[in-house]
Amino acid sequence: MNTRFWTTVSAGALGMVCLAAPAVAQPTRRININSTPPGATVRLDAQTSAPIGTTPIRNRAVRGGAHTLFFELPGYVPGRLDINVARNGEAFTGSLQQAGSINVSADVTGAAITVDGQERGTSPTRIDGLAPGQHVVELRAPNLPPVSQTVTVQGGQVAAVNATLRPATGTVRVIVTTANGPAPANVSVQLDGTPLTGSPPSSDQVTVGSHVVQVSAEGFRPVTQTVTVSASQVQAIAVQLEAVVNGGTVRVMSSTQGVEFFLDGDRMQGSPAVANNVAQGTHTIRATAPGRATMTREITVTAGQVTALDLGELAAASQNGRISVRASVPDAEVLLDGASVGRAPYERADAPPGEHIVVVRAQGYDDVRRNCSVSASQACEVVADLQRARPTGVLHVEAVDGNNVNVANAVVRVNAETEGRPLGDISVPAGETRVTVSADNYEPAVQTVNVVQGGTAQVRVQLRRTGLTGVDVARRRSAISTFGAAPLVRGDGAFDLMGGFGGHPLTFRATLGFMPHGLFAVDGGLTIRTTFTWYEFELRSRIGIRLADDVFAVGGEVRAYGALGTDGRNGVGLTLQANLSAHFSLAGDEVVAGESQADRANRLGSFAITLSPGLEINSDSATNASPPTLNVSGYTAGPLSLCENRTTATDAGSGDCQLSATVRGYLAGTIELGLGRHLNAFAGLQYYFARPDTANLGPTSSGSNTARRPVLTSFWDTAVQANIYGGITYKF
C-alpha cells in the first residue's frame, strides 16, 4: 500500500511540474506599443506600476503571455488593452477617447456634487477627464432637496450644468370665518404642521408645489385643505369653520421624548396632546418619534366626555429605511430593483437597508435610472425629471473584409458610446447618427447616416486589415537600405558582402542604427576593403531625414579610412557624400497569418533607389620601386605598378612615378532589392570625374591618376572611371 501511495504522489507531482513548465518557460519577447493619438504614458499589468515609456515604444522586452497595457494621456480618458504576447516584433495599439468636461454651478455655494454616484467636489467647479456620453450630475445642500440633471459630454468640449437648489416660493393667505361671522379667538392655522401668524394668517416663503393647511378651534370641527402654490403668486384660501355639536375631548400621552401625535391625520397640540370638540364616533391616533416605530391606535369618542390614551414607550424602529419617488409625469411607473411597485408618487417606509436601483418610466419618455442607498438614518429620495423620448429608427449594420467575407467579431459603437454592440439591427434615436465599426486586426471604419423615424438605415462597411502605417511604414521602407539616405534605426543592424570591378574586388561592411525611429536618424559602421596586397579599414557614419511619409529621404555620409599594404605601403583617405533615396514596396501591407511584425518589415518586392554625389580625398605613400608580384588563384601578374596602367614592363621599371594626394569628385547610383526579412541584393556603379591633367586614359599614359585611386590599377589591369559593384545584405 505504501508503494502505491508514493507512486501516485510522485506521478501527480510530475504531472503538475509538466503542466507548469510552459508557464515558467515563457520567454521574453520584444514588442512595439503604439497609441491613437501618440504620446500616451504606458503602464504594464497595473495602473499603479511604474511607466514603461511613452508611445510609440519600440523593442520593449516583455515576458510572453497575457498582459494588460494601461494608457494615460492628458485630455483623454484612460484606456486599457489586454494583449497576448506570442512572438517577437508584435505591435499593439491602444485607442484613447478624448475626454470632456462639465462646468457645474448652482445658486448655493458649496453644494456637494456627485457625477454618476461619485463625489466630485463642491459648487462651483469644473470636472475634467469625463468619458464622452451621458452622465448624471447631482447636487445636494443641507435642508434643501437634491437636484439631479443628465448631461451629454462630448470629447474635447465643456458642457454646463446650472442647478437651482433653493425652491421657488409663493404666498399663502388663510381667511377663516364661521357661520356667525369672524373667526373665533382661539383659532389655530398651520401650514404643513407649522403655525401661520398674522391677520389673516399668512406666509410669503412657501415653496412651489402642494401643501396642507390645517385650521382648528375649540368648539369647531378641524378643517384640512390642500393648496397648490405657484412661484411669485399669492394663493388665498377661505375656510369656514363648522361648530361641533355633541363633541368630546381626546387626550393622548407617551413616555417617549419628542413624540408627535396625529388625530385622523391632523397634528395635536400640547403635552400631553389634547383635542377638544372631537366628533362623537371612532377616530385614529398615530404617534411618531425619531428612531421609534410608528404606533397607531383607534379610539371611540363620546360627546361630553374625555377619552384618554396612554401609549407608554414607543418601540425602537427597525433598520429599514424610506424610499420616496416623485416624477414630473403623473402616474409614471416605478420599478424598484427591477420589479414594478406602483405609480409615482411612491413611498415605502420599510425598505431593506443597502443599495437599490430605482427606475421611473412613462410611455413616450426616456427612462430615469438612479442608484441610491437606504438605511435607518438615510432615506432614498428620487425626483425624476422625465424627458420626452426622441423618435427612433433602426440601424442594420454589416461588416465585410476586402474579400467581401463577413467579419463576425466586429462590434458597433453608436455616436459617443464606449461599449460595443453586436452587428445586426440596433434601435437608435432618429436623426444623424455616427456609426463606428471595429474588429481585432482591422482598422476602424466610421460612417455617418441619417436614421428616419420608424425606418431602417442600411450600413455596410468594408474593414481594412491592420497594415503598416506611420512609424511601421517608415521602419519598413528604411530597413531595406544600407546605401541610401535613410539610416537604420536603433535596434537594427546589417552586414554587406560586396564584390566589384574597377575598384576593390572584395569589400565587407557592418552597419548599426544609433537613434530611435523619427524623421531624423543616425547610423554608423565599419568597412574593410582589400586587393589582397592592400587593405583599407574605414569608419563611416550616415545622417538622414525622412520626407513624404518616408517615401523619400535626404542625407549625408562621411567616411575616413587608413590603408596598409605589402612592402610597407600605407595611405589615408576621406570621403564626403550626399545621398538622395526613394523607398518603394511592391508588396501589400495585409496581415499574413503567422507573420510577425518583424517579418513584415521587408518582404520580397521592397526596393530602394539611391543617387550619391561625393568628393574623395586620399593620399598613398606607395611608389613603384621594387613592386611585388601578385598571384591569386593561379593567376600571376607581373611586377605591380601602383600609379599607372600596368601595360608594359618598361612602365613597371621606370622610376618617374611618385604618388601623393588625389582629389576627385564622383557620382554613384545603387539599387537595393528586398529578398526577405533578413536578406537584400544590391548592385551599383560609381563614376569618377577626370581632372583635366589626368584625363588621358590611354594604355601608354604614364602617370595616369584617373582611377578611383591609383593603387587599384595594380589589381585590375585597366584604369577605369566607372567602378561596378554588387552583393548581398544580411539584416538583423
pLDDT band at 184 (very low <50, low <70, confident <90, very high): confident
Q: How far apart are CA 29 and CA 27, in angstroms?
A: 6
Residues 412 and 421: their CA atoms lie apart, in Å, by: 5
| Residue-wise pLDDT tens digits, 384-425 | 888 877 778 888 999 988 767 788 889 999 988 887 888 989
Long-range contacts of 526-531 (CB under 8 A, 24+ apart): 527/559, 527/561, 529/504, 529/561, 530/504, 530/505, 530/506, 531/504, 531/505, 531/711, 531/712, 531/714, 531/715
pLDDT digits (tens, 9 = 90+) for 579-634: 999 887 655 555 454 455 445 555 566 788 999 999 988 777 654 434 444 333 34
Eight-state DSSP code of residue 569: -
- Listed as own residue / partner, the contacts of 279-287 with beta carbons closer than 8 Å and 24 or more positions apart are 279/221, 279/244, 279/246, 279/247, 280/246, 280/247, 280/248, 283/250, 285/250, 285/252, 285/261, 285/309, 285/311, 286/261, 286/262, 287/252, 287/254, 287/256, 287/259, 287/260, 287/261, 287/262, 287/311, 287/314
Same topology, domains 26-95 and 100-163? Answer is yes
Closest CA to 446 of 429, 457, 461, 432: 461
Pairwise CA distance, residues 665 & 706, whole Å: 11
Check residue 473 and give its pLDDT: 47
**E strand or H helix that includes residue 236:** strand 234-241
C-alpha to C-alpha distances, 10 to 14, 16, 17, 25, 284, nearest whole angstrom: 6, 10, 11, 22, 81
- pLDDT of 508 above 90: yes
* Cβ–Cβ < 8 Å for 232, 218: no
d(CA 675, CA 604) in angstroms, rounded, equals 5
The alpha carbon of residue 432 and the mean position of all alpha carbons in its chain are separated, in whole angstroms, by 25
Quick one: which of 299, 314, 308, 316 has its CA closest to 255?
A: 314
> pLDDT of 339-348, one tens digit each?
888 898 888 8
pLDDT at 714 exceeding the cut of 70: no
Q: Are 344 and 384 in contact (CB under 8 A)?
A: yes
The domain ranges of the chain are 26-95, 100-163, 321-384, 392-462, 471-731
From CA 465, how far away is CA 589, in angstroms rounded? Answer: 8
Half-sphere exposure (Cβ direction) of 699: Cα atoms closer than 13 Å: 5
What is the DSSP secondary structure assignment for residue 658, as one 8-state letter? B
At 206, list the grid cell: 412657501
- pLDDT at position 93, please? 93
> How far is 673 from 481, CA to CA, in rounded Å?
9
Instruction: Evaluate whether 122 touches 110 at the Cβ level (below 8 Å).
Output: yes
| Reported confidence tier of residue 114, pLDDT bands at 50, 70, 90 | very high
Give the count of beta carbons closer than 10 Å to the beta carbon of residue 649. Answer: 10
State the pLDDT at residue 671.
93
Mean pLDDT of all residues in 211-236: 87
Write the CA distances from 663 to 72, 502, 575, integer angstroms.
57, 18, 10
pLDDT value at residue 719: 61
C-alpha angle with apex 191: 188 to 196, nearest 5 degrees?
A: 50
What fold characterizes domain 26-95? Immunoglobulin-like (2.60.40)
Amino acid identity, residue 268? M
- pLDDT at position 697: 39
At residue 5 the predicted structure's pLDDT band, cuts being 50, 70 and 90, is low
Q: Is the pLDDT of residue 651 over 70?
A: no
Residue of higher predicted confidence among 11 and 173: 173
Task: Tell me how far apart the alpha carbons of residues 615 and 664 are, in angstroms, rounded to a whole number.
Answer: 6
261-316, pLDDT tens digit by residue? 998 888 888 878 988 878 888 899 988 888 777 888 889 988 888 899 998 888 77
* Triad 594, 596, 600: Cα angle to 5°: 110
Closest CA to 583 of 492, 434, 480, 699: 480
pLDDT in tens, 9-25: 455 545 544 444 444 45
At 437 the pLDDT is 93
Give the integer Cα–Cα distance in Å for 144 and 352.
25
Mean pLDDT of 655-665: 58
Count of C-beta atoms within a 10 Å radius of residue 533? 20
Contact 602, 731 (CB under 8 A): yes
Indicate the class that CATH gives domain 100-163.
mainly beta
- Report yes or no: 476 and 488 within 8 Å, Cβ to Cβ: no
- Tell which wins on pLDDT, 247 or 112: 112
Cell of 151: 448631461
Residue 166: per-residue pLDDT: 79
How many angstroms separate the CA atoms of 620 and 644, rounded?
Answer: 13
Write out the three cell numbers for 42.
504606458
Residue 439 near residue 399, CB atoms below 8 Å: yes
Q: Exposure of 147 by Cβ count < 10 A (0-12 exposed, 13-18 middle, 19+ buried)? A: buried
Distance CA 141, CA 284 (A): 36
DSSP annotation string for 426-471: EEEESEEEEEEEE-TTB--EEEEEEEPTT-EEEEEEEPPBP---TH
Task: Give the per-residue pLDDT at 643.
Answer: 42
- Indicate the range of 76-80, 247-251, 691-695 predicted with least confidence: 691-695
Q: What is the 3-state secondary structure (H, E, C) of 603-625?
A: CCCEEEEEEEEEEEEEEECCECC
How much of the chain, in percent, has pLDDT values that exceed 90? Answer: 26
Q: What is d(CA 452, CA 394) in angstroms, rounded to the nearest whole number?
A: 8
- In the predicted model, what is the mean pLDDT of residues 684-706? 56
The predicted structure's pLDDT at residue 270: 82
Amino acid at 196: L
Compute how many other C-beta atoms are within 10 angstroms of the C-beta atom of residue 568. 8
48-65 pLDDT per residue, tens: 889 999 999 998 989 888
Q: Going by CATH, does the domain composed of 392-462 fall within 2.60.40.1120?
A: yes
- In this predicted structure, what is the pLDDT of residue 585? 67
DSSP single-letter state for residue 650: H
- The CATH class of 321-384 is mainly beta
For residue 707, what pLDDT is reported?
A: 40
Split at pLDDT 50, 70, 90, the class of 706 is very low
Residue 234: count other Cβ atoms within 10 Å of its Cβ.
12
Which pLDDT belongs to residue 10? 52
Q: What is the mean pLDDT of residues 190-217?
A: 88
The pLDDT assigned to 634 comes to 40
As a whole-number percent, the residues of the chain with pLDDT over 70 amount to 80
